[in-house]
Amino acid sequence: MAAAVQDASTPTFRDIDRSVLRVMEMPGTAYWIWIAFCFSLVGIAAALWTRQIYSGLGVTGLRQPVMWAIYITNFVFWVGIAHSGTLISAILFLFRTRWRTAVYRAAETMTLFAVATAGLFPLIHLGRVWFAYWLLPYPNERFLQPNFRSPLVWDAFAVSTYLTISALFLFMGLIPDVANAREQSKGWRKTFYSILALGWQGTDEQWRHYSMAYLLLAGLATPLVISVHSVVSWDFAMAQLPGWHSTIFAPYFVAGAIFSGVAMVMTLLIPMRKWLHLEDLVTPWHFDNLAKIILLTSLVVSYSYATETFMTWYSGDKIEQMTFHMRYFGPWGYLFWVMVLCNCLIPLLLFSPRIRVNLTALWIISIFVNIGMWLERFVIIAGSLAVNFNPSQWAYYRPSITEIMITVGSFAWFLGLFSLFARLLPIISMTELKEGITWLKKALRKDYAKAA
């Protein structure tokens, strides 16, 4: 246990403040080396993207018939990662779930940066990125407007709405916390937090309107999160390509998004908890509950794989059956089976209560889930395109160094932004932890019982 909580069975409001605000103190050299490393990778990715813009999409591995591959896989992956943040911050808020308080800010931050990362990929994928604004409806001389029947236009609306609402939700939640940080900091930080806090003083009038606005934002974000990944799935399901054209895609993608998102929350939170000494606030009780969500969504995803296979067989559609045969046993078949291992089999370990509180095991499982969910998107997107209606066109895709490094750069971009946020702003909500302090005390006592 960290020293901040003297008697861990009875943490006070001050203990919570101390533990969270300590994280926001000036970080050491190792932190800045990490940030420099992340943004160097982003720089390499940016240079390669610049080269791609200059030379054209020929520098990628995209060739007919596989014109959607790693870039779109990354887009779907990062949008999916974003979903658990809204699940934890909005949906579990509406259900008044006690354990969300310690983890929701990190999940929400992850959401914002994951959507910001995802939003780059449709742009990176464009051959002529300077025409990206053609997606927007604006008055023009030839009366050309976006086609509102196209899922790609729905996607532009859904993802931009999601980015805006996630940013507003995160900002709203931060206001009371930065007001608290303002009172306990000095120098430029005090000025920075003063501006962000908007003069918040926690009066009854402020709380009355704040609580209502926050509740309604959560209410709006809840169906939004379901809609966004449904719309993303329709990018594929609306096309008449075997392997894509399926009615199961929307719920299947939403479950997969939450599955991968919660896994990413764990991937980030477990090392962060250790490095930032947050053991007294983020307890195994929280991870136990996150693990249960991973287990549930893993079962839903496994069921979806089975249903998809059954529907293909039951439809009697030879072309669809061939697509799935190639998916399971074709040249990329091994990717499918690695995906099954990561998404369906390894998460079954979480049925064990002991594994659900073993943070090392959880972290390893979460990495497998991340790999599995990335592969799932790749297998669906590139795999289905490679084996289309006409066997004479069949061709498999090989990624170029440009695509690989831009993918690596996207992870560095996401991790760099998240790391900057974690040391600059409260990565754990002090206000909500205080609100549910009774439950935190119970969680800590439960830990002690387990440790004993």
Partner 1 sequence: MSGSVEIVGSFADEIGCAHGIEKLREVKAIGVRVFSPIPSHRIEHAIGKPKSRVRAFVLTGGILGIITALALTIGTSWEWNLDAGGKPVVSWPPFIIIMFELMVLFGGISAVLSFLVHARVPAFEIAEGYSSRFSEDRFGVVVRCEPADSAQVESILRDAGAEEVVRAAAWPRADGNAVVS
Nearest residue (CB) to partner 1, 27 versus 146? 146
Q: How far is the CB of 441 from partner 1 (least distance, A)?
A: 14
**Contact positions with partner 1 (CB under 8 A) in 4-23:** 12-14, 17
**Alpha carbon distance 25, 398 (integer Å):** 46
> Considering the rule CB under 8 A, would residue 194 count as an interface residue with partner 1?
yes
Nearest residue (CB) to partner 1, 17 versus 108? 17
Specify the stretch interacting with partner 1 by CB under 8 A; choose among 35-43, 55-63, 216-224, 380-388: 216-224
Specify the stretch interacting with partner 1 by CB under 8 A; choose among 3-11, 60-68, 197-205, 314-322: 197-205
The end-to-end CA distance of the chain, in Å, is 14
Of 70, 81, 224, 386, the one binding partner 1 by CB under 8 A: 224
Buried b (16+ CB within 10 A) or exposed e, 19-55: bbbebbeebeeeeeeebeebbebbeebeebbeebbee
Q: How far is the CB of 431 from partner 1 (least distance, A)?
A: 6
Amino acid at 228: V
> Considering the rule CB under 8 A, would residue 268 count as an interface residue with partner 1?
no
**Contact positions with partner 1 (CB under 8 A) in 162-181:** 164-165, 168-169, 171-172, 175-176, 179-180
> Considering the rule CB under 8 A, would residue 97 count as an interface residue with partner 1?
no
Which H or E run contains 161? helix 151-183
Cis omega before residue 65 (within 30°)? yes
Nearest residue (CB) to partner 1, 97 versus 160? 160
**Alpha carbon distance 58, 63 (integer Å):** 8
**Alpha carbon distance 31, 334 (integer Å):** 38
Q: How far is the CB of 141 from partner 1 (least distance, A)?
A: 12
Q: How far is the CB of 108 from partner 1 (least distance, A)?
A: 14
Please, are residues 245 and 237 in contact by the beta-carbon 8 Å criterion? yes
**Alpha carbon distance 167, 256 (integer Å):** 23
> Considering the rule CB under 8 A, would residue 130 count as an interface residue with partner 1?
no
String of contacts with partner 1 for each residue 403-432, x by CB under 8 A: ----------------------------xx
Nearest residue (CB) to partner 1, 90 versus 290? 90
> Considering the rule CB under 8 A, would residue 202 count as an interface residue with partner 1?
yes
What SS3 state is found at 238? coil
> Considering the rule CB under 8 A, would residue 55 count as an interface residue with partner 1?
no
Q: Measuring CA to CA, which residue among 263, 287, 269 is closest to residue 446?
A: 287
DSSP letters, 51-73, are HHHHH-GGGSS-BTTB-SSHHHH
CA–CA distances in Å: residue 447 to residues 16, 212, 244 = 17, 34, 46
Residues of this chain that bind partner 1 (CB under 8 A): 12-14, 17, 137, 143-146, 148-149, 153-154, 157-158, 160-161, 164-165, 168-169, 171-172, 175-176, 179-180, 182-184, 190-191, 194-195, 197-213, 216-217, 220-221, 223-224, 227, 231, 431-432, 434-435
